[in-house]
Amino acid sequence: MATSTSLTPVERRSVSDAIFEQLRDQILSGVRPPGDVLPPERALCDALGVNRGSVREALRRLEQARLVSVRHGGSSHVLDYRESASLDLLGSLVLRPDGAIDTAVVRSIMEMRSAIAPDAARRAALRGSPAHADALDEAALALAVPDGDLSLLQERAVRFWSVVIESAGNLAYRLAYNALRDTYDRTRELLAPVLAGELRDADAYAAIAAAIRRRDERQAHDLSRALVMRGEVAVEFTLRVIDERLRTSAEEGR
């Protein structure tokens, strides 16, 4: 087996987690490509310095994440995660193996956010209840904090869009939003200053809430689109700067 796929002993404090993360990272980085066969359980135990129960738990989690397929006889074959995995994997892809942010993944997340939010707002105007409208007004009012702390505004903006999604009555959007939110939490500190213009536009949030309350689907969609696109454009500018720095660093390292 190539040395690039070698395994290192894991710490005892979270054995199955450490095994899962080590194998997951090798799969996501391409060190173990689709079709590769993981070592047998006994070989994994020896390489990692752990017991078989911990290895089996880690393999079970890899299978649940649809990163491997356990075939007859017990062999675990690596799957192409782009074809088999779900949105739950996004959070593990934000950072590359070298610790640098994966700009392509963050860009994909922002694009998905910009696609879902306006349509969710439109459907919220169509399907939302008076109770939803009240909750949305409250969430929008909470964002009306002049020069508010960006971390606090982030939390309140997440709450605002959560109410929008709930009002839309679309389970697929709800689950997708949950995955996006969990991934967003991993990049929150990085994105806070970039999204400042969006987060501090309390009037925009209030206008979206008002459009949803009066069941103006088009206005709810257009206002939401305008707001989230401000964030996407700002993040895209930052990602291009990061891409350029990474490219320059790679060229200098040659």
Same domain as 212, residue 141: yes
Same domain as 241, residue 156: yes
Residue 250 has pLDDT above 80, yes or no: no
Per-residue pLDDT band at 1 (split at 50, 70, 90)? very low
Same domain as 126, residue 50: no
pLDDT, one tens digit per residue, over 151-210 is 999 999 999 999 999 999 999 999 999 988 888 887 788 888 999 999 999 999 999 999
CATH number at residue 98: 1.20.120.530
Same domain as 121, residue 230: yes
Residue 3 has pLDDT above 50, yes or no: no
> Is residue 86 situated within a structural domain?
no
pLDDT the model gives residue 155: 92
Stated as kind and residue range, the H or E segment containing 220 is helix 217-252
Residue 170: helix, strand or coil by DSSP?
A: coil
Of 232, 146, 144, 239, give the one whose Cα is nearest residue 195: 232
Mark which of 81, 116, 150 sits at the end of a domain.
81
Alpha-carbon Rg for the chain, nearest whole angstrom, is 22
Same domain as 73, residue 116: no
Same domain as 167, residue 125: yes
Mark which of 22, 57, 81 sits at the end of a domain.
81
Same domain as 212, residue 119: yes
Domain count, the chain: 2
- When pLDDT is averaged across residues 58-69 and rounded to a whole number, the result is 94
Q: Where are the beta strands (DSSP E) in the chain?
A: 68-70, 76-78
Same domain as 26, residue 131: no
* Angle subtended at Cα 194 by Cα 90 and Cα 164, rounded to the nearest 5 degrees: 60
Mark which of 23, 56, 81 sits at the end of a domain.
81
CATH number at residue 47: 1.10.10.10
pLDDT the model gives residue 94: 86
How large a percentage of the chain has pLDDT more than 90?
69
Per-residue pLDDT band at 2 (split at 50, 70, 90)? very low
Same domain as 77, residue 96: no
Same domain as 113, residue 64: no
pLDDT the model gives residue 181: 86
pLDDT the model gives residue 71: 84
Same domain as 114, residue 40: no
Same domain as 164, residue 67: no
Residue-averaged pLDDT of the chain:
90
pTM: 0.82
- When pLDDT is averaged across residues 39-58 and rounded to a whole number, the result is 92
Domain that holds residue 131: 91-252
pLDDT the model gives residue 101: 83
pLDDT, one tens digit per residue, over 74-113 is 789 999 999 999 888 888 888 887 778 889 998 999 999 9
> Is residue 207 situated within a structural domain?
yes
